[in-house]
Amino acid sequence: MDWRGKRVLVTGGRGFLGRHLVRGLQARGAHAIPVGRGDADLRDRSATRLLFEAVEPDIVLHCAVQGGGIGWMREHPVESGRDNALINVHALDAAWRSGARVFVGISSACAYPRQPATIPFPESELWNGRPEPTNDTYAQTKRLMMSLGEAYSQQFGLRCAFPMLANLYGPGDHLTPERAHVVAALIQRALARPEALVVWGTGRATREHLYVEDAADGVLACAAAAADGVDVGPINVGTGVEVSVAELAEAVAAACDYAGPIRFDASRPDGQPRKCLDVSRMQELLGWRASTSLAEGLARTVAWYRQVLEQEPT
């Protein structure tokens, strides 16, 4: 795809993933327009439509989200459900009304059932059960967006892609503990040099971790395919590598040069028992795969956090 001159609206464009998407678009010659909460409250239908109509995008990359880590999700089930449902519906409708050709809605592996029949999760398992209870309302808003996107595609011809991303990590993640994802939270704890590195849950749950720069590249591959007329729809975007929380904690400790003990707090939720994506459709349809290993990605991420912490006032 020739991105040069394309007007690309990036909601959440100043957030964790959004900033990397904007850089990737600029490198490809696109006219990236990042927007955030200060530009419009996407929970408001009229404000969302006015924003999109003013931009007149060719392509919409919808990253805006009300979310956080497993702790935040558990404490804010209403906001994570209500707010994201409004944000997703309004963004999808405004994209169509403003004349966009392509809508890419960032989805998540959490949309899968808590215990799918097949692991790694193939896209065919998406609707076969209810999501993990600790993030159920959030996951349901992703399902709503994907289902409604298929309807807009069928009825109005809006080309849609919904990359279901593995757990993201990398430079630029949240610094506040209640919003931080698991890798960011562990790195911040390890760099604080505690007597023991405390990890939520039993350590037995498994996750798949995707470096944010790889995620941005994968999202753009989805957008390019959709723009070329490929029926992308919901698609797994990840590494296909399953890592236990215990293994992740050890890898983070090594990357942070932390030599203390690792302790698991079983009173805290594990969340979904296993989470790993089947990325065969991604590789076949997009001809794309993630290139950053977990060790390499953790090293880059720890270096970024060290730099940020050094700049903080003492």
Catalytic positions, please?
A: 138
Half-sphere exposure in the Cβ direction for 231 (13 Å, CA): 5
Q: CA 308, 311, 313 angle in degrees (round to 5)?
A: 125
Polymer length in residues for the chain: 314
Query: Helices 16-27 and 212-227: crossing angle, nearest 10°?
Result: 60
Rg value, the chain, Cα = 19
Is the distance from CB of 206 to CB of 199 less than 8 angstroms? no
Write the CA distances from 106 to 12, 46, 54, 165, 196, integer angstroms. Answer: 11, 22, 22, 7, 36
Residue 60 to residue 33: CA distance in whole angstroms: 10
Residue 310 CA: distances (Å) to CA of 186, 292, 303, 306, 307: 18, 26, 11, 6, 5
Pair of tokens at residue 203: 């350590």
Which of 220, 64, 233 has the alpha carbon at shortest distance from 158? 233
The region that residue 198 occupies, defined by phi over 0 for left and psi between -120 and 50 for alpha, beta otherwise, is beta
Helix (H) or strand (E) holding 198: strand 197-200
